[in-house]
Amino acid sequence: MSAPTPFHLAFAVTDIDATREFYVNKLGCKMGRSAERWIDFDFFGHQISAHLVDGALSPAETNPVDGEKVPSRHFGAILEWHDWHAMKDRLVAENTEFIIEPTTRFAGEVGEQATMFFRDPSGNALEFKTFRDSAMIFAN
C-alpha cells in the first residue's frame, strides 16, 4: 500500500490573527499561502485552510464515545506515540484548557488510543490521538 496523499480541509475562523498565532506558535504548523481573509497551513503534512467569517461559529453538538461527550464536528491528526506525548506534556505545561483531558480510550480493546481534545481561538474542536500499534487505526 502506498503512503496516503495529503488531504485538504477548509474551516471557518472568526479571528485571522489569533488563528495564525495558534496554528503556527501553539501547534507548530508552517504557514502556506495567505490573503486578508484566509491562511493555508501545513497541518502535519496535510493542507488546512482557515477562512475568516463574519460572526460567531455555532458550537458542535456532542456524541457519547467511551463515556465522554465528543464534539461531533472536529478535526485533528494522528501522531506518533512519542510526538503525541511530547505535545500533551507541552500543552499541559501551557495550561491548555481541554475539552477532553488527555486520556486513554478503549483501554485493552481493539483500537486502544491516547487522545485529547481542545479548541482553537475560534472554538473549532481539535483532536490529537496516537496508537501504540498503528495497525489499530482502522481495526474493528
> For strand 30-35 and strand 38-43, is the pairing parallel, antiparallel, or unpaired?
antiparallel
Q: For each of the domains in the chain, give its residue range(s) and CATH number, in order of start.
A: 1-54 (3.10.180.10), 72-140 (3.10.180.10)
Q: What is the largest CA-CA distance in the chain?
A: 48
| Residue 88, φ and ψ in degrees, nearest 5 | -60, -45
Residues in the chain: 140
Q: Provide the grid cell at 81.
A: 506515540
Q: How far apart are CA 81 and CA 106, in angstroms?
A: 16
Full pLDDT tens readout for the chain, 140 residues: 577 899 999 999 999 999 999 999 999 999 999 999 999 999 999 999 999 999 999 988 999 988 889 999 999 999 999 999 999 999 999 999 999 999 998 888 888 899 999 999 999 999 999 998 888 888 87
